[in-house]
Structure 1
Amino acid sequence: DEQDKCPTVAGLSRYNGCPIPDTDKDGVNDEVDACPTEAGISANHGCPDVQPILTQAASNLKFAIGKSYLSAKQLANLDAVVAVLAKYANVSLAIGGHTDNTGAEKLNAKLSINRANVVAKYLIKKGVDAKRISTSGFGFANPTADNKTKDGRSQNRRAELTAVYN
């Protein structure tokens, strides 16, 4: 009819016969897009994928043998994570702590959860709601490098940050 502004495509009357708009052209229509003016991914409700930022921030979350404290540089990187979580309230965070294979399995299990928890405590101290953070310790079960070398063991003593899109 004459009120249909988009006569060649299916649409809704509330949009004058046109499809639901997608202002940022990310494939997530504006009615369900949590970030309608900023292109994103459907898994994050139309908001940008924050995993690359988290991966970058975690790239220096390496720990000394048997330790679970954070350096000033690591804290600065975590401040970027705080900013991301402040901007995108629909993103939660899974923190995984890891160790190398030096020492007993039981000790490494405890150390790995301590590493995840120290990261979580810092983020909470900086204002991230504790309900948005989960922590897990994996001990030496998931190495990313060869535990036979000093460098490999160093790479395995880490914390990983994973975005959880709510």
Structure 2
Amino acid sequence: MHLPLYTALTAALLAAGMTGAQAAGPYYDPSNAASPTKYTTDYELYRTIGCPGKQLLDAACKIMTPAAAPAPAAPAPVAAAPAAPVDSDKDGVTDDKDQCPNTPAGRKVDAKGCELDSDGDGVVDGLDKCPDTPAGRKVDTRGCELDSDGDGVVDGLDQCPNTPAGRKVDAKGCELDSDGDGVVDGLDQCPNTPAGDKVDNKGCTLLNTIVLKGVNFDNDSAKLRTDAFPILDDAVTTMKRYPTMKVEVAGHTDSNSSDAYNLKLSDRRAKAVMDYFVSHGVDAANLTSKGYGESEPIADNKTAAGRAENRRVELRIQ
């Protein structure tokens, strides 16, 4: 018996078990709209699912793995906003311009961030206790003018800059001389000298004749002994105070030796004292010297003590 071709093919398919519902084979593509149930319903679907347009007897198609979706493009970088300028010491000048970066809080500063020094004395206003120092004056760490001798008058005004401690001074920084005799109060032992009187270094009125006690010479010589120098220096200071004062230097001896010898010795001694004065700055035009020998004793030449008094040098104010 001959079966029709359709019948024979159907029988073959039934024998192979391919007409019923089949699980998806290697050509299954669950994304294909032709297989909403994920199962095939006949041989054609089995061969063609996932391969649209395939016919029954066409060669099986090769299912391509779907291409991966392209990765999303990286977002364009967002430029960071510029950082705000920093002012670490909070003085109003940012760090990039601040040349004095650690200004104490509350201090006024210039455009460079440095503290103001309004009087230009080198001490900033925040520390300056004397804010109006005149230009050029030297100041201490507080910004106040120096008073080196501590007399209460600053150095910039002090005309007597080395006043001894404790002395009273005037507005110029110079010691007071209450009686106007030229000897400051701190040294004046005769503080109420009458006006116009000439005084010695102690501020006491000069006598017409002043004995230079302690001015001695080597024996039988006109050579001054060194212990005479301080006494002569005091006399130099007094004579310089009165630059027009005329003085005679008078030399005297005791009665030992002859009158003629003593006269010459006293004259040489008087001249030695005058020469000392001139060498220390006293105007020679104001000085003369003369020896009187033993002619004017002031004590008894019969005693050693008396003879010692008679050997003397006097200054006679002219």
TM-score (norm 1): 0.66
Tell whether 2:304 aligns with 1:162.
no
- Count of matched residue pairs: 125
- Hey, what's the Cα distance between the residues in 2 that align with 1:73 and 1:62? 8
Alpha-carbon offset, residue 55 of structure 1:
3.1
2:198 counterpart (48, 55, 76): 48
- Measure how far apart 1:73 and its partner are: 2.0
Match 2:295 to one of 132, 137, 141: 141
Q: 1:75 aligns with which of 214, 222, 229?
A: 229
Structure 1 unaligned spans of 5+: 1-36
Partners of 1:63 and 1:157 within 8 A in 2: no
| Contact kept in structure 2, 1:101 and 1:153, CA below 8 Å | yes
Which residue of 92, 96, 105 maps to 2:259? 105
Tell me the SS of whatever aligns to 2:246.
strand
Give CA-to-partner distance per residue, 1:40-83, whole Å, 9 cap, x none.
667xxx2533425x836x01124454222212221111111111
The residue identity in structure 2 corresponding to 1:48 is K
CA drift at 1:155: 1.3
Q: Which residue of structure 1 aligns with residue 306 of structure 2?
A: 152
- CA change 1:41–1:92 in 2 (3 A) is farther
- The 3-state SS of whatever aligns with 1:55 is strand
Which residue of structure 2 lines up, in the alignment, with residue 118 of structure 1? 272
**How far apart, in 2, do the equivalents of 1:47 and 1:144 lie?**
26
Contact residue 267 and residue 289 of structure 2 kept, 8 A: yes
Instruction: Tell me which of 38, 53, 67 is aligned to 2:180.
Output: 38
User: Secondary structure at 2:260's aligned position in 1?
Assistant: helix
Which one of 215, 219, 226 corresponds to residue 61 of structure 1?
215
Amino acid at match of 1:49: V
Structure ranking higher on relative contact order (CA contacts 8 Å, 6+ apart): 1
Give secondary structure in 2 for the equivalent of 1:95. Answer: strand
The question of 1:88 aligning with 2:242 is answered yes
Report sequence identity in percent. Answer: 31
Contact 1:61 1:160 (8 Å CA) reproduced: no
Deviations 1:131-162 (A, max 9, x none): 11111111100011100011111111111112
Counterpart-to-counterpart distance in 2, 1:38 and 1:47:
10
- Compare the two structures and name the one with the higher helix fraction: 1
Q: What's the RMSD between the two structures over aligned residues?
A: 2.5
Q: Provide the C-alpha distance between the structure 1 equivalents of 2:217 and 2:303, rounded to a whole number of angstroms.
A: 16
Q: Which amino acid aligns with 1:126?
A: H
1:4-52 CA distance string (max 9 Å, x none)? xxxxxxxxxxxxxxxxxxxxxxxxxxxxxxxxx725667xxx2533425
Contact 1:68 1:115 in 2 (8 A): yes
